[in-house]
Amino acid sequence: MFKPLRIGKHESRYPLIQGGMGVRVSAGSLAGHVAKCGGVGLVASPGIALNSELFNGKNYLQSNSLALKAELQKAYQIAPDGIIGVNVMVALSDFEQLVQAAVEGGAKLLVCGAGLPMTLPGLTAHAPDVALVPIVSSVRAAQLIAKKWDKSYNRLPDAFVVEDPDTAGGHLGEKLENIGNGDYDQYETVRGVKEFFRAEYGRDVPVIAAGGIWDREDLLHALAEGADGVQMASRFVPTVECDADDAFKQAYLDCKKEDIGLIMSPAGLPGRAILSNQQAIIDYDKERHTPCTLGCLKKCSYKESRERFCIVKSLDRAQRGEVDTGLIFCGTNAWKADRIGTVQEIFDELFAAEAVVVNEAA
């Protein structure tokens, strides 16, 4: 019933990518267990050094690359033959270094958003087997990337993730005023990207739908609308294997639908999160005059003028369990979480028909 998901030279049993959730929410444990269950597991590279033994308070950029490799190794210990990749934000100060670290650490694919990864093929030219997957929200963005890559590097993306800004969690690749106004059609974009590649390059490119995917019904709907697979992030937070603190997971269980909304990140991008503690997040840095000691983003209003709050430290606090003053990113469906389960249970629910077929065959 479900076709495997082939991206470049790599094929996962199930058409599911676990979305990257930065600052150690999706690190080696979650990525490894998703891959073990037959999906594509992603280690999120932003802030991966924080809350690790490799970070001494002064070596953030250097330790980030080392921590990323360590988490990839952890993931492969869980799923030695799994499809494991890395999510890298283009907006990061150490984008290039993290790409190199991901390749050296054995990542089989790179998923890149928060900007257009125009130079990515050049950074990975020495590793042609690593699949390259940009995140976009429009056909236009996919066209720009493809034409640039084709002209400059004689390479095309191995797949695209089409993210719905109306439902996805974390940083969103759309202007704030355009989110939630009813104009965006995710699956029109999915089909548009596929049609562009057929017309322009005579090939089919896998397109993965991201944002608002929570259960089997959402999965089947995405596949029926033309997507080759789905990316799920928030659904994997309330699991035993998620790398975040239990208090972070509990925040998902406790939140209500109306608690979830949009914030403006100091990165200059809107983001979706649990907003019930929004003022406490801002006050934390204001009251302490928190300095920018990490320089995690290329452009950051907090780094430049102390506007808003320090995003990486607020995300780090939440991941550690300080949820009263920490930023908790999530998608619109996070309120549906009602218990802490396991990654395997999620796969069993999503792909139940295949489980039945396997049992009958046995």
Whole-number pLDDT of residue 80? 97
Domain assignment present for 249 = no
Whole-number pLDDT of residue 145? 98
Domain assignment present for 346 = no
> Mean per-residue pLDDT for 83-98?
95
Whole-number pLDDT of residue 173? 84
172 is in which domain, residue-wise? 12-243+351-361
How does the average pLDDT of the chain come out, rounded?
94
Confidence of residue 75 (pLDDT cuts 50, 70, 90): very high
Q: Can you tell me the distance from the alpha carbon of 349 to that of 213, in angstroms, rounded to the nearest whole number?
A: 13
Q: How many domains does the chain have?
A: 1
Instruction: Please enumerate in sequence order all residues whose Cβ is within 8 A of that of 272, keeping only pairs 6 or more positions apart, or say none.
Output: 168, 169, 170, 172, 260, 261, 262, 263, 329, 330, 331, 332
Domain assignment present for 48 = yes
Buried b (16+ CB within 10 A) or exposed e, 66-98: bbbbbbbebbbebbeebbbbbbbbbbbbbbebb
Q: Using one digit for the tens of pLDDT, what is the confidence trace for 188-197?
A: 999 999 999 9
pTM flag (> 0.95): no
- Higher-pLDDT residue of 85 and 305 is 85
pLDDT surpassing 90 at residue 187: yes
Whole-number pLDDT of residue 324? 96
Q: Report the share of the chain in percent with pLDDT over 90.
A: 84
**Per-residue CA distances from 134 to 6, 137, 208, 298, 332 (Å):** 15, 10, 10, 19, 22
Residue whose structure tokens are 């690749």: 173
> Mean per-residue pLDDT for 61-88?
97
Lowest mean pLDDT among 33-42, 177-186, 201-210: 177-186
> CB of 43 within 8 A of CB of 84?
yes
> Mean per-residue pLDDT for 211-233?
97
Output the domain CATH number for residue 173. 3.20.20.70
Lowest mean pLDDT among 216-220, 266-270, 316-320: 266-270
Domain assignment present for 170 = yes
Whole-number pLDDT of residue 356? 42
Q: Using one digit for the tens of pLDDT, what is the confidence trace for 233-263?
A: 999 999 999 999 999 999 999 999 999 999 9
* Helix, strand, or coil (residue 221): helix
Q: Using one digit for the tens of pLDDT, what is the confidence trace for 145-175?
A: 999 999 999 999 999 999 999 999 999 988 8
Joined together, the tokens standing for residue 168 give 């996805």
Q: Using one digit for the tens of pLDDT, what is the confidence trace for 287-321?
A: 998 888 888 988 889 888 888 899 999 999 999 99
Nearest to 262 by CA among 174, 187, 163, 136: 174
pLDDT surpassing 60 at residue 41: yes
Q: Using one digit for the tens of pLDDT, what is the confidence trace for 9-30?
A: 999 999 999 999 999 999 999 9
Whole-number pLDDT of residue 353? 64
Domain assignment present for 262 = no
In order, the DSSP letters of 233-299 are -GGGSSBTT-SS-HHHHHHHHH--GGGEEEEE-TTSSEEEEE-TTHHHHHHHHHHHT----S--BSS
pLDDT surpassing 80 at residue 31: yes
Domain assignment present for 314 = no
Instruction: Please enumerate in sequence order all residues whose Cβ is within 8 A of that of 278, keeping only pairs 6 or more positions apart, or say none.
Output: 263
Confidence of residue 127 (pLDDT cuts 50, 70, 90): very high
> Mean per-residue pLDDT for 204-222?
97
Whole-number pLDDT of residue 139? 96
In total, the chain counts a number of residues equal to 362
Q: Using one digit for the tens of pLDDT, what is the confidence trace for 308-359?
A: 899 999 999 999 999 999 999 999 999 999 999 999 999 999 998 654 444 3
Domain assignment present for 228 = yes
Domain assignment present for 277 = no
